[in-house]
Chains A and B, each alone.
Chain A
Amino acid sequence: MNRLWLAVALGGAGTFSMRASFLLAAHRMADVPPLVQRILRQIPAAALASIVVPAFVRPDGRFSLWTPELAAGALAALVAWRTRSSILTLVVGMVVLVALDAL
Chain B
Amino acid sequence: MRDDPRIGELRAGALAVAPLLVGVIPFGLVAGAAPVDSHLGGGIAVGLSTVVFAGASQLAMVDVLGGGGSVLVAVITAWTINLRLMLYSASLSPFVAREPLARRGWMAYLLTDQAYAVSITRWSGGGHAAAPERRVPFYLGAALTLWVNWQICTVVGVLIGNAIPDSLPIEFAVPLVFLVLLVPALTSVPAVMAALFGGGAAVVCGELGGANLAVVAGAVAGITAGVVAEHLRDGPARREATP
Contact = CB atoms under 8 A, between A and B. Distances in A.
B103 to A, nearest CB: 10
A6 interface: yes
A49 B222 contact: yes
A34 B237 CA distance: 5
B98 to A, nearest CB: 6
B218 interface: yes
A21 to B, nearest CB: 5
Given A7-B74, A46-B223, A81-B183, A98 B169 contact: yes
Interface in A17-62: 18-35, 37-58, 61
A26 to B, nearest CB: 4
B164 interface: no
A8 B30 CA distance: 17
Contacts of A45: 182, 185-186, 191-192, 194-195, 198, 222, 226
Interface residues of A, number: 73
Interface in B145-177: 167-170, 172-177
B144 interface: no
Contact of B206 (A20, A23, A54): A54
A68 B218 CA distance: 23
A46 B194 contact: yes
Listed residue (A30, A61, A101) with the most chain B CB atoms within 10 angstroms of its CB: A30
Contacts of A52: 175, 178-179, 182, 199
A44 B104 contact: no
Contact of A53 (B96, B107, B200, B238): B200
B242 A26 contact: no
Nearest to A24: B104
Contacts of B10: none
Contact of B185 (A38, A48, A72, A86): A48
B181 A23 contact: no
Given A14-B79, A63-B207, A97-B169, A7 B65 contact: yes
Contacts of A12: 51-53
Contacts of A86: 19, 177, 180
Contacts of A5: 44, 47
A33 B239 CA distance: 7
Nearest to A69: B172
Contacts of A24: 101, 104-105, 108
Given A12-B52, A21-B89, A50-B222, 5 more contacts: A8-B47, A18-B79, A19-B86, A52-B182, A53-B200
Which 8 A/B pairs are nearest by Cβ-Cβ distance? A46-B222, A50-B218, A53-B199, A42-B226, A12-B51, A34-B237, A55-B175, A30-B97
26 contacts: A3-B71, A4-B40, A4-B44, A4-B65, A6-B71, A7-B65, A15-B85, A19-B89, A20-B105, A21-B90, A23-B93, A27-B101, A37-B94, A41-B226, A42-B191, A42-B222, A44-B121, A45-B185, A46-B197, A50-B219, A53-B202, A69-B172, A80-B180, A86-B19, A94-B172, A101-B169
Interface of A: 3-12, 14-16, 18-35, 37-58, 61, 63, 69, 72-73, 76-77, 80-81, 84-87, 89-90, 93-94, 97-98, 101
